[in-house]
Chain A
Amino acid sequence: MRNAKSVAFIVAAAALLSACSSTKLQEAPKVEEKPVAQVTPPAADTSREVRPVETATVDPLNDPKGVLANRSVYFDFDSYVVRDDGKPVVENHSAYLTKNKQRKILIQGNTDERGGTEYNLALGQKRAEAVRKSMSALGVADTQMEAVSLGKEKPKATGHDEAAWAENRRADIVYQ
């Protein structure tokens, strides 16, 4: 089949070249395809067959009502220890990450606005590191996590009272 086409091309090319001269065009040989005889299977009754279908799996990470939607861990004033109310957050994300080894996260630590720029950056790092260590203890690979700090530079709450400060003493889990 392939050879026949090649032959046809060569012949056609030769014909084009020869067209320069006034000789009569030679006709290319015809290539015919014969249909292969279809083998019809014996008719069978399929009315009782069941073909299984996989339903679409929703990544629990994208479920806005799921436990993974909560990605913030809060800290007390001058504290760098994960509180009891933050432990389920750490556990839920650790469970997800140990099952989904290809996923990676940034843990971003934050502080309230009081104090020096660079010292707060280091304090935010301590909060991110506390979360990272807790997740590491629950089996999350080091290659899946990076603990960093935004210090006091990106406050979620912009007020200047205790409520705002408490909201900003926080580490966020950010999926990459």
Chain B
Amino acid sequence: MKKLHTLLFSASLLMGTAAHAQLRIDIAGVGSNQIPVAVAAFADESVAPEQVSAIIRADLERSGVFKVIDARQTISDTANVDLAAFKASGADALVVGSVQRLADGRFQVRYKLLDTVKKTQLSQLSDAVAARNTRLEGHRIADDVYEKLTGVRGIFSTRISYVKQDPAARDYKLVVADADGEGEQVAAHGREPIISPSWSPDGTKVAYVSFELRKPVIYVQNLVTGQRTIVANEKGNNSAPAWSPDGTRLALALSKTGNTQIWVVNADGSGMRRVSNSAGIDTEPQFAADGQTIYFTSDRSGGPQIYKMSVNGGQATRVTFHGNYNISPRISPDGKTLAWISQREGGFSLYAMDLASGQEQRLADGATEPSFSPNGKYIMYATKGGGRTALAVVSVDGRVKQRLSTQAGNIREPSWGPFMK
């Protein structure tokens, strides 16, 4: 009965989120060894435009790492809590808090994370936030819970960018949203295709390719000011921008020599120099975490395969060997894992490879355009279903999958933004 109640609660919570969510979340699988966490309603939280405890619950559930238990009561951060009772109900940790409207219109959000086993306080936060940032504050608290209980930094307050397109209406948008798909904001809008967005490491800019000049040209746009600069508009194609980890350079694919090759340029467009040197296609460059190695897609062996080479050029080393079509390399933030798209038995699947051992794992089918979360624990990708393209997220161990979908429009080309201060 208790389990049933939890289940019903979870279901209604998800439906409640879906009612106004721009991206709908479906959890297709659940990981084992979840950490049981009880989340109480925050005292007086109805004064704020968003229910903070509901945001925290939704975030923790979506991560797949936690078994979220409904505390079935409101508990303020100042209350004396019978932690033994929560331990008895199966919770290893308890989240409590309060919301208070301030004289200046902001909201003071306080939270505490309590350990029901050791009967200690694990963490607390107290922030005064503007009304429009109460949702963000919920994500920040969820990040803190995630980090204190797993030892890994949370990604609930990070953002994603993607392309939303309606080719029949010639409508193309570069969109920025919260990692849970809420709070969509249009960063660029036009009548020609936009592809390959890539967040700068400091989170202030997005590099992308726009066809507005009747050919692919690379732009860097400051998200806050809206200022755009052309980074590469050479003869032929200018595409596949990827930031160096320090944000000072971009790796690009240019066809100014006739065939598509890898080049590196300073972030302001100066100092353009060629890196790869082959007779065929070299594209989709990605800096490794050390900034010294570039992974890329090349057809030098016939079909597309993934290679790596020094940022200074020279000999390339082949990385993928299984299958005839391996594209879109992405390196995890810790530099240990390669995620990419492989076509095997017809369909396109998302694979991950441990670079040290070379061991491969298939994470998702019907997948293209992967992007790592900044903590390296999740990969977002584009997937086809119901005649249109949507986004999905899979954990790097493949155990937790979520599909994010919208009511209308094709969504593709996700780029997961960095941690923000």
Contact = CB atoms under 8 A, between A and B. Distances in A.
Interface of A: 106, 108, 115-119, 121-123, 125-126, 129, 132, 146-151, 153-155, 158, 174
Given A153-B193, A158-B168, A121 B283 contact: yes
Contact of A116 (B167, B214, B236, B368): B368
Contact of B297 (A118, A126, A132): A118
Interface in B185-225: 193, 195-196, 211, 214-216
B235 interface: yes
A118 B283 contact: yes
B327 A150 contact: no
Interface of B: 167-168, 193, 195-196, 211, 214-216, 235-237, 239-240, 253, 255, 258-260, 281, 283-284, 297, 304, 325, 327-328, 341, 343, 348, 368-369, 412-413
25 contacts: A106-B214, A115-B327, A117-B196, A117-B368, A117-B369, A118-B195, A118-B327, A119-B281, A119-B327, A121-B240, A121-B253, A125-B281, A126-B281, A129-B255, A146-B215, A148-B215, A148-B216, A149-B237, A150-B211, A150-B215, A150-B216, A151-B216, A154-B211, A158-B167, A158-B168
A121 B218 CA distance: 14
A125 B255 contact: yes
Contact of B195 (A125, A153, A155): A153
B237 A121 contact: yes
A37 B397 CA distance: 106
Contacts of A118: 195-196, 239-240, 253, 283-284, 297, 327-328
A153 B259 contact: no
Contacts of A155: 167
A77 to B, nearest CB: 13
A132 B236 CA distance: 11
B369 A125 contact: no
A146 B235 contact: yes
B253 A122 contact: yes
A125 B214 contact: no
B49 to A, nearest CB: 38
A116 B368 CA distance: 7
B216 A149 contact: yes
A129 B255 CA distance: 10
Nearest to A121: B239
Contacts of A158: 167-168
B365 to A, nearest CB: 15
B260 A122 contact: yes
A119 B193 contact: no
A122 B240 CA distance: 10
Contacts of B253: 118, 121-122
A121 B239 CA distance: 8
Nearest to B303: A78
A148 B236 contact: yes
Nearest to A147: B236
Contacts of A117: 195-196, 368-369, 412-413
B304 A126 contact: no
A54 to B, nearest CB: 35
Contacts of B211: 150, 153-154
A142 to B, nearest CB: 9
Contacts of A129: 255, 258-259
Contacts of A125: 236-237, 255, 259-260, 281
